[in-house]
A and B are shown apart, each in its own frame.
Chain A
Amino acid sequence: MADLLRDFRILLRVAWLTELEHKANFFISVIGALAFNAGQLLFIGVLLNAFGSIAGWTPAEVMVLFGIRMASHSMYAFFFRRVIDVDLVVHTGEFDRYLLRPTSPFLQLLTRRFNLQQFGDVIVAAAILAVALPKASITWHPLLALWLVIAIGAGGMLEGALQLARGALAFRLQNTQSLTALIDTVFGTYGNFPLQIFGTLGSILFTVVLPLAFVGWIPAAIVTGRTDSLWFPTWLAWLSPAVGVAGMAAAIFFFTRQSRHYSSPGS
Chain B
Amino acid sequence: MIRLGSTNALFFRANLALSMVSVALQTVLLVTVWRAVYSGHGQVAGINEADAVSYAVIAMLLWHIALPWQLSSIPDRVREGTVATDLIRPIGVVGQSLLQAVGATVGAIPGVMVGLAVAFAFGGLEPPASTGALGGFLLTAALGWSIAAMLNIAVSMVAFWTTDTRGPFYIYRAVASFASGALIPLWFMPTWLRPLLDALPFGLQVFAPLQLWHGQEPIGRLWAVLATQLAWLAAAAAIVALVSWRALRKVVINGG
Decide if A and B touch, CB cutoff 8 A: yes
List of A residues within 8 angstroms of B163 by Cβ? 22, 25
- Alpha-carbon distance between A117 and B190 when the two chains are bound, in angstroms: 30
Q: A22-B163, A198-B33, A199-B32 are in contact. Are A178 and B178 (CB under 8 A)?
A: no
List of B residues within 8 angstroms of A239 by Cβ? none
User: Which of B84-92, B165-173, B248-256 lies on the face that meets chain A?
Assistant: B165-173
User: Which of B22-30, B209-217, B218-226 lies on the face that meets chain A?
Assistant: B22-30
- The chain B residue with its CB closest to the CB of A32 is B170
7 closest cross-chain pairs (CB), A and B: A32-B170, A29-B167, A28-B167, A175-B12, A32-B167, A197-B36, A36-B174
Rounded to whole Å, the gap between the CB of B34 and the closest CB of chain A is 10
List of A residues within 8 angstroms of B189 by Cβ? 46
Q: A22-B164, A185-B26 are in contact. Are A55 and B36 (CB under 8 A)?
A: yes
User: Which of B13-21, B125-133, B135-143 lies on the face that meets chain A?
Assistant: B13-21
SS of A interface (majority) = helix
| Number of residues from A at the complex interface, CB < 8 A | 46
Size bracket of the B interface: 35 or more
List of B residues within 8 angstroms of A39 by Cβ? 174-175, 177-178, 183
User: Which of B37-45, B116-124, B144-152, B234-242 lies on the face that meets chain A?
Assistant: B37-45
SS of B interface (majority) = helix
List of B residues within 8 angstroms of A185 by Cβ? 26
Q: Are A32 and B166 in contact (CB under 8 A)?
A: yes
List of A residues within 8 angstroms of B245 by Cβ? none
List of A residues within 8 angstroms of B175 by Cβ? 35, 39
Neighbour of B18 across the interface among A26, A33, A50, A178, CB < 8 A: A178
Return 26 A-B CB contacts under 8 Å, by A number: A25-B163, A25-B164, A28-B171, A31-B167, A33-B167, A35-B174, A35-B175, A36-B173, A36-B174, A39-B174, A39-B175, A39-B183, A43-B178, A46-B184, A47-B37, A47-B188, A51-B37, A173-B14, A176-B14, A179-B22, A182-B26, A186-B26, A186-B29, A197-B33, A198-B32, A202-B32
